[in-house]
Chains A and B, each alone.
Chain A
Amino acid sequence: MSSRTSRSSRGPVTAFLLRRTATLGVTVLLASFVVFLIPYVTPGDPARKIIRSRVAGAVLDESAVQALTQDLGLHESLVVQYLRWLGRLLGGDMGLSYASRTPVVEQVLPALWTTLSLVTATLAVAATVSVVLGTVAALRAGSLPDRIITTVTQGFVAMPEYWLAPMLVLVFALELSLLPSAGWAGPASAVLPVAVLALRPTSYFTSAVREGMLDALAGEHVLAARARGLSRRQTVRRHVIPNGLLPLATLAAVWFAGLLGGSVIVEVIFAIPGMGRLLYEAVLNSDIPLAQGGVVVVVGLAVVLTTAADLVHGLLNPRLRGHHA
């Protein structure tokens, strides 16, 4: 009986997984086409922009422009260029950077590793702080500490990174000489950028943890636990906190995806050689393969992460799984 039940529930789950995976593939393919088109819908001749990125100055040698156009196949139709690019991409070849003439993948992977480190540290800090603040706020809902936590963390959202980053540098690097103002060499150099990036997720995470825990506190299973004689502390530890943290996992996955490409300002200000700065400079230099490779990786990871979060959420939630399936 139990094995029949297991087989019967495996069918919808498999279908759900297949459907989500297929959606993932289509999404990535569509995203790749949009990414491929970006440099072509911006004004200006790519060959001229590429030469300017390598040899500064306004006056260009027209014969060099023509030669480069031929050499890079820029004279061919967009469809031909896209298919050639996609074919290489599927084989793990992102092409050569126009500016440096080195493989794009050799530039993207170190930058990705740097950004992954930055984002992981950011979300770890944001999650830790928000679990503490959200728990306190939920357990003392309506009290002064709750109101202070809610007001302060909501204020974080109103602090733009381009303002906060110089302010923190002014205080901690210039005035107090406690931390380096820029660079990416050791834990000390990560403190300020992580602090700047962590502020907004901390705000949203705290709110999510607080709401999740309030929902859990009002749940029947909590009342039942208390009725069974569990202390408030035991009830909170066993039943409230685990349920309260569920929305945090989904939210963190979404933020992780967003920060992969959304840390441009912080990476430029703090001179961090991550994906944001790589994309920023690729655009400035009209380095089409580098920009395409970088965006594809960021978008691909973002789609995979959000889909993974969706899958986990769906698998943990039978009602949601049924809806998806």
Chain B
Amino acid sequence: MRAVLRTSVSTGFVAVLALSACGFTGGEEQGERAADQGERIVVDNFRAPVADWSLESDAAYILSLSGCLETLTRYDEAQGEIVPSLATEWQQVSPLEWDFTLREGVQFQDGTPMTADAVVASLQNVLDAEVPARAFGPKVVSGVEAVDERTVRITTPTESPLVPYRLASVNTGVLAPAAFESGTVDPFGHCTGPFTPVSEEPKQSLTLDRNEDYWGGPVQLAGAEVRFITDGATRATQVQTGEADISLSVPVSSLSALESDPEVEVLRADSPRTATLYMNNGRAPFDDVDFRRAVRSALDLDALAASVYEGAALPATGPFAPSEPWAPETAGTPQQDLAAAKELLTAAGYTADRPLEIIAIVERAEFADVATVIQDDLKSIGVPVTIRTAEYAAVEPDLLAGNYDMVLSQRNRLIDIADPIGFLSADYTCEGSYNLSHFCDEDYDRLVAQAAETADTEERYELYTRAGQILQEQAVNVWLVNEQAIDAVRADLQNHAQDPLSRYVLHADTATPGP
């Protein structure tokens, strides 16, 4: 199938789209005080770059949230689709080739023009990485070339409608050729974004100044400092003291203090992470769908969200968060029904001849409590359960080999690209490389394969919806709670839009009225 997507937008359109994203703050009340263009703000981030500034690593997230690194396309949360950024339009010119037309007049922060050759060099650097990014590695992209001064061609090994999504991954951010001259990645003065990194205190902070020549228009702030603070309580304290203007990912334990502070605003958004009780569909008694449904009916997800998660997560409705465009509109949270659960156990012919084991991954401290709640719920329908806590790395071989009963885990559905195809393929298809559930269903596999080749966004999302419904009907796992991305910002911060994945934080319109 050949699809053509053509979009042409004005320079300011991207900024407008960014502001329309979820979690928008600032408005008439806050707009009473004019923004001070001499102001600098502080962002407390939860991680420091571990891999220098290599774009294939998580460091790309830091450069992106800092307003330095930009990509050819970007994912708009509010619209649920890919929108232009450094590329203004793109089209699939052959089954395996996509052409991206670069925005005119964009300069890197070192003053050199953003040409197709420069973009190709930057993308090739990611492609050649020792440990490639999954969103843009040799398995999914076979080549990058400049067609002309303003056109970049991406070639894929198989036909894929998701190339524009891959080019929205922060790992594909574009840096000037000079950034790669030393053998390591040097982003200082080599991005295209509204903020230019000027200095770094290793493991502590990154300082940025306004990019006076930003292609997207005037930048409101004079600069910013992104601090790397791993302790969540410290990040929460700093936004309360005013030492930070934005604190990303604040812990639940700090919420009551933050929400009672009139100078702080707490922002929440659905994250693409769902805490899940994985069940080994390949092993008795979980190989019987009635037994799996019985487990689901025995659990009180509302109580779980309210107790263990203290309201910081919402009861799940299925494998997707309700706000995701491919989530079924009518899905509701499965309700606890112990009588139905017992009937299903009878139908499954279940006999409690051995206790079942839940493995709670220690990397998520709350899972030990979640396991206890589940143990109690299952006990009430006559299913004995033991709990084992373990490091993920220690149990992963057993999980992949199918040597377990149940495991509590969670993973980010959209970590590679802003589309769930990777998650649905790897986690639930018969040949999926991360099929912990050991689930296999031909109808499901056919839907996912069809989705992988469907260029039309709405049509593809519909296929995802149907695939998700199969997973829910088959009670493959019990999706417990949808985790919330929780950030805290100073109440007088203007034009800030929360991004659940913390990719886009500082942008040209971020402003503050100053003291």
| Cβ 8 A contact of A71, one of B130, B184, B241 | B130
Provide the residues of chain A in CB contact with B230, threshold 8 Å. Answer: 268, 271, 277, 280-281
Contact B52 A43 (CB under 8 A): no
CB of B426 within 8 A of chain A?
Answer: yes
Chain B interface residue count, Cβ-Cβ cutoff 8 angstroms? 48
If A48-B393, A61-B137, A61-B139 touch, whether A182 touches B131 (CB-CB below 8 Å) is no
B52 touching A174, Cβ below 8 Å = no
B106-140 contact mask (Cβ, 8 Å, vs A): 1 or 0: 00000000000000000000000011111001010
Interface-side segment among B73-81, B186-194, B199-207, B329-337: B199-207
Chain B residues near A317 (CB-CB < 8 A): none
Q: A182 to B234, Cβ gap below 8 A?
A: yes
Q: A43-B394, A100-B51, A271-B227 are in contact. Are A64 and B238 (CB under 8 A)?
A: no
Give which listed residue, A44, A55, A59, contacts B131 with CB less than 8 A. A55
* A182 and B58 form a contact (CB under 8 A): no
Does B426 lie within 8 Å of A271, measured CB to CB?
A: no
The answer on a CB contact under 8 Å between B131 and A54 is yes
Q: Separation in Å of the B417 CB from the closest CB of chain A? A: 11
B281 within 8 A of A: no
Q: In the complex, what distance in Å separates the CA atom of A68 from the CA atom of B129? A: 12
In terms of DSSP, what is the predominant structure of the interface of chain A?
A: loop
Residue B416 at the chain A interface, CB threshold 8 Å: yes
Name the A residues within 8 Å of B8 (CB-CB): none
Q: Is B56 at the interface (CB under 8 A from chain A)?
A: yes
* Cβ of B243 under 8 Å from chain A: yes
Asked if B411 is at the interface (CB within 8 A of a chain A CB), the reply is yes
Residue of chain A at shortest CB distance from B433:
A59
| Other-chain residue from A59, A166, A174 in contact with B434 (beta carbon distance below 8 A) | A59
A55-B56, A58-B434, A181-B238 are contacts. A45–B393 as well, Cβ < 8 Å?
A: yes
A174: which B residues are within 8 A, CB to CB? 237, 240-241
Inter-subunit contact A287/B229 (CB<8 Å): no
A203 vs chain B, min Cβ distance (A) = 25
Count of A interface residues, CB-CB < 8 Å? 50
A101 on interface, CB distance cutoff 8 Å: yes
**Which A residue sits closest to B391, measured CB to CB?**
A43
Closest chain-A Cβ to B352's Cβ sits at a distance in Å of 31
B387: interface (CB < 8 Å): no
- Choose one: A100, A173, A287; the contact of B52 (CB below 8 Å): A100
What residues of A have a CB within 8 angstroms of the CB of B415 in the complex? 56-57
The answer to whether A55 and B134 have CB atoms under 8 Å apart is yes
CB of A99 closer than 8 Å to a CB of B: yes
A273 and B204 form a contact (CB under 8 A):
yes
Is A102 an interface position by the 8 A CB rule?
Answer: yes
Q: Say yes or no: is A164 at the interface (Cβ < 8 Å to chain B).
A: no
Minimal beta-carbon separation of B433 from chain A (angstroms): 6
Give the docked Cα–Cα distance between A112 and B311 (Å).
Answer: 42
| Inter-subunit contact B131/A269 (CB<8 Å) | no
The answer to whether B203 and A277 have CB atoms under 8 Å apart is yes
0/1 string, A170-210, CB within 8 A of B gives 1: 10011001001111110000000000000000000000000
User: Would you give the 0/1 interface string for A280-295, flagging 1 where the beta carbon is closer than 8 Å to chain B?
Assistant: 1100011100000000
> In whole angstroms, what is the CA distance A54 to B56 when docked?
8
For the complex, is A110 an interface residue (Cβ under 8 Å from B)? yes
Closest to A99 in B: B50
Contact digits for B384-426, partner A, Cβ 8 Å, 1 yes 0 no: 0000001111101000000000000101100110000010001
Query: Is A69 engaged at the interface, CB distance under 8 Å to the other chain?
Result: no
Q: Which residues of B in the span 220-250 have a Cβ within 8 Å of any Cβ on A?
A: 227-231, 233-234, 237-238, 240-241, 243
Find chain A residues with CB under 8 A from B243 CB: 173, 180-182
Minimum Cβ distance to chain A for residue B126 (Å) = 11
Min CB distance B493 to A, Å, is 19
* Cβ of B72 under 8 Å from chain A: no
Of the candidates A54, A56, A271, which one forms a contact with B228 in the assembled complex, judged by CB atoms under 8 Å apart? A271
Can you name the residue of chain B whose Cβ is closest to the Cβ of A280? B230
Q: Are A57 and B416 in contact (CB under 8 A)?
A: yes
* Residue-wise interface mask of A (25-56) relative to B, using a CB-CB cutoff of 8 A (1 in contact, 0 not): 00000000000000000111100110101111
A173 and B204 contact, Cβ closer than 8 Å, known pairs A51-B131, A183-B227: no
**B434 cross-chain contacts in A, Cβ below 8 A:** 58-59
The answer to whether A270 has its CB under 8 Å from any CB of chain B is yes
Given the complex of chains A and B, what is the CA–CA distance between A277 and B50 in angstroms? 13
Q: In the docked arrangement, what's the CA distance between A48 and B130, Å?
A: 14
B64 interface residue (CB < 8 Å to A): no
Query: Chain B residues with Cβ under 8 A from A45's Cβ?
Result: 393
Q: Is the CB of B233 within 8 A of A269?
A: yes
Residues of B within 8 A of A268 (CB): 230-231
A44 in contact with B394 (CB, 8 Å) = yes
Contacts of A281 in B (CB 8 A): 48, 50, 203, 230
- The closest CB in chain B to the CB of A47 belongs to B131
Q: Is B57 an interface residue (CB 8 A)?
A: yes
Given known contacts A181-B234, A182-B229, A59 and B426 CB-to-CB distance under 8 angstroms: yes
**Of all chain B residues, which has the CB nearest A45?**
B393
Give, as a whole number of angstroms, the nearest-CB distance from A284 to chain B.
Answer: 9
Q: Is the CB of A278 within 8 A of B411?
A: no
A282 to chain B, nearest CB (A): 9
Q: A169 within 8 Å of B by Cβ?
A: yes
When the two chains form their complex, are residues A56 and B58 in contact, meaning their CB atoms are under 8 A apart? yes
Closest to B234 in A: A182
* Cα separation A107 to B50 with both chains bound (whole Å): 11
Residues of chain B in range 42-70 having any CB-CB distance to chain A below 8 Å: 48-52, 54, 56-58
Complex Cα distance, B204 from A227, in Å, reads: 61
B51:A44 contact, CB within 8 angstroms:
no
Q: Is the CB of A99 within 8 A of B51?
A: yes
**Out of A177, A185, A277, which one reaches B241, CB within 8 Å?**
A177
- Chain A positions within 8 Å of B, measured between CB atoms, are 42-45, 48-49, 51, 53-59, 61-62, 64, 68, 71, 99-102, 107, 110-111, 166, 169-170, 173-174, 177, 180-185, 268-271, 273, 277-278, 280-281, 285-287
15 A-B interface contacts by CB (under 8 A): A43-B391, A48-B393, A48-B396, A51-B131, A54-B57, A55-B133, A57-B416, A62-B433, A68-B131, A99-B57, A100-B52, A183-B204, A269-B234, A271-B230, A281-B203
Give the 9 A-B residue pairs with the shortest CB-CB distance, closest first: A44-B393, A43-B394, A273-B203, A99-B50, A59-B434, A57-B415, A271-B229, A100-B52, A182-B234
User: Beyond the given A64-B132, A68-B131, A180-B243, could you list 7 further A-B residue pairs with CB under 8 A, ordered by the A residue number?
Assistant: A42-B393, A49-B393, A54-B58, A59-B422, A100-B51, A101-B52, A181-B234
